[in-house]
Amino acid sequence: MRILVGIEHPKRVHVWKNPIKKLIERGHEVKIAARDKDITLKLLNLLGFNYEIYGKNYIRLFGKAYGLIESNLKLLKIARDFDPDLFVGKGSAYMGQVSRMLSKPYICFSDTEHAKLANLLTYPFADVICTPSCFKKRINPSKHITYNGYEELAYLHPKYFKPDPSVLNDLGLSKNDKFIIMRLISWGAAHDIRSRGFSKDFLEKAIKSLEKYGHVFITSERKLNKNLEKYKIPIAPEKLHSALYYASLYFGEGGTTATESALLGTPSVHVEGILTRSGELKDVIQAQNIGVRDELVNKYRLSYTFADQYLALNKALEILDDNNAKRKQKEKLKKVLEEKIDVTAFMTDFIERYPESFYDYMSKREIEKEFKENSKI
């Protein structure tokens, strides 16, 4: 089978790297079409993947509209030259729209309920939409497939992820040293327009409190002011997951990084509030609307999320006060790993056997539905 995989974001490199390797090992021809965003291309190069670039990321709304046209035209050329049997990707409007132009099937993986614009531009063109079973938004049931797992487990499950201890040398630390990783994001994504995290005056106060417990490192999408520059984490971006694995605590604005930390066995405190149209911060926690984060917070107690940054800091300090916090986190993580599926195996099998995999799933769902209805009689 000839498979065209769309990769538009650094996280998607991680999500797709293991399924791509498995598909190639099984004799399939895989072409990667990538967009030049952040460190996406660098990660692909480090993994030794060949790829073709079909666009870049634009910040402003007009630029994004132009980028949609530009990227679609470039992707269309790549697809015509490669002639794929199947398009696959994660919530990619470009992949969906070009697949429809060429009358080829598109399997869309999605886990971001609040990416309303991206979903609106993508879902109508997808033949199948695969989401975690905890996904909270309603999708057309005739093409919605769910799996009992999280996308992050495709690359962070112990079966696939091995931490690199050399990251501690990069940080100038030993295994016995406590350290905290803070994450600042740009809030530039379309689904982040009304979201907010740390205020400027809060950051330095928070760091002073956290430093009493260990070293503080910041990974940031936005430019740091000169007072915070010394906290910038001195590691290669591809080692961030290893750093999160060894950290005592994750404290930050990045929701994905909060999920990754929790699944690596590191206590995770996430901050994200929602602004009203008048500019006031609502006491609403965005994570309640996102299935993956909601499960990790409320079902497994692996992560904490707050709209109020000071409440979040209090929880972070409470965790750091507990010398057994890391051990407790890893104990709770065992339940997740026992209950969730091998997501890489699911992705690989579903793609490889498509469309039979889709029909198998739909038949199974109908049988389960009929069984439940009969059980009520």
- The pLDDT of 219-240, averaged and rounded, is 92
| pLDDT band at residue 194 using 50, 70 and 90 as cut-offs | very low
- Measure the CA dihedral 109/236/56/72, to 10°: -30
pLDDT for the residue numbered 327: 96
- The per-residue pLDDT for range 237-265, each reduced to its tens digit, is 999 999 999 999 999 998 899 999 999 99
| pLDDT in the model for residue 134 | 96
pLDDT band at 112 (very low <50, low <70, confident <90, very high): confident
The string over 65-102, giving b where at least 16 C-beta atoms fall within 10 Å of a residue's C-beta and e elsewhere, is eebbebbbebbbebbeeeebebbbbbbbbbbbbbbbee
Domains 2-149+341-376 and 166-338 share a fold: yes
pLDDT, mean over the chain? 90
Q: Assign domain 166-338 to its CATH architecture.
A: 3-Layer(aba) Sandwich (3.40)
Query: CA end-to-end span of the chain, whole Å?
Result: 46
pLDDT at 132 over 60: yes
Give the pLDDT score at 56. Answer: 83
- Average pLDDT of the segment spanning 93-103: 95
Position 127 pLDDT exceeds 70 = yes
* Cα distance between residue 122 and residue 13, in whole Å: 19
Looking only at the bridges linking them, the beta strands covering 195-196 and 273-275 are antiparallel
Burial 43-54 (b: 16+ CB within 10 A, else e): bbeebebebebb
Average pLDDT on 66-75 reads 89
Give the right CATH number for 2-149+341-376 from 3.40.50.2000, 1.20.1250.20, 3.40.50.1100, 3.30.2420.10: 3.40.50.2000
Q: Is the pTM of this model over 0.75?
A: yes
pLDDT of residue 278: 55
The residues spanned by each domain of the chain are 2-149+341-376, 166-338
Chain segment 276-301, per-residue pLDDT in tens: 555 555 554 555 678 999 999 999 99
